[in-house]
Amino acid sequence: MRSRPVVTIDGPSGAGKTTVSKMLAEKAGFVRIDTGSMYRACALAARRAGIPWSDADRLGELARRMELSFRDAAGAAGVYLACEDVTADIRTPEMSMGASDVSAHLPVREALVAKQREMARDGGVVLEGRDTGTVVFPDAEAKFFLDAAAAVRALRRYREWAPGKGQPFERVLKEVLRRDVQDCTREHSPLKMAEGAVYIDSTILSVEEVVGIMMKSVRGAAR
């Protein structure tokens, strides 16, 4: 039995999982694990190694060998491949779609899920992603599914990606909708709400309001 709870936050692209999970982890005094960043890092490592995002076997081997860690640098959490900070490199539209592509392969999911379970085995963690409450930790003490209207999620992505990218909003919306379909219909670990999860629509809620709702459940799970 874990001494502290495991918290999972799943949901589609742009729902606000990253921002919410950061604040929730800080308030709860938990460690945050961004599982989506792990798939983005795998996509980046594959691109650098010349491995197609369609090559399941080679991607699975890459994911197993990948030295991945989350560290604090200058007060901000960073994603590291070996000793290289790739936080900015994985936060691009290309790596967003790459993450969706590589995560569709069972060998990749098996390798990274094993890493995620090892990182969070003692509890006291907030995991955010697509399948953290359905596959990674179906026995999590507190599970959430964070959602928002597609147009709102696209606007959030547009504001994140637009500077210097020249991406029109219509294109960002199209990419968000395309990823929704890809994530929800993939064969392995499709995006869906976990049994027992609390559904939260963040369309008109502030980050503080969402975190407030979550903290009530987390406090209850910690008793």
Domain layout of the chain by residue ranges: 6-213
The three-class DSSP label of residue 9 is strand
List, in sequence order, every beta strand (DSSP E) within 22-83: 31-34, 68-73, 76-81
When mean pLDDT is compared across 26-30, 162-166, 201-205, the lowest value belongs to: 162-166
pLDDT over 70 (residue 101): yes
User: Which CATH number applies to 6-213: 3.30.420.240, 3.30.1330.10, 3.40.190.10, 3.40.50.300?
Assistant: 3.40.50.300
Q: How many CA atoms lie within 13 A of 178 on its CB side?
A: 12
pLDDT over 70 (residue 164): no
pLDDT over 90 (residue 21): yes
Q: Which residues of 124-149 are buried (b: 16+ CB within 10 A; e: fewer)?
A: bbbbbbbbbbbbbbeebbbbbbbbbe
Asked whether the beta carbons of 172 and 161 are under 8 A apart, the reply is yes
Give the global pTM: 0.85
**For residues 47 and 39, what is the distance between their CA atoms, to the nearest angstrom?**
12
pLDDT over 80 (residue 161): no
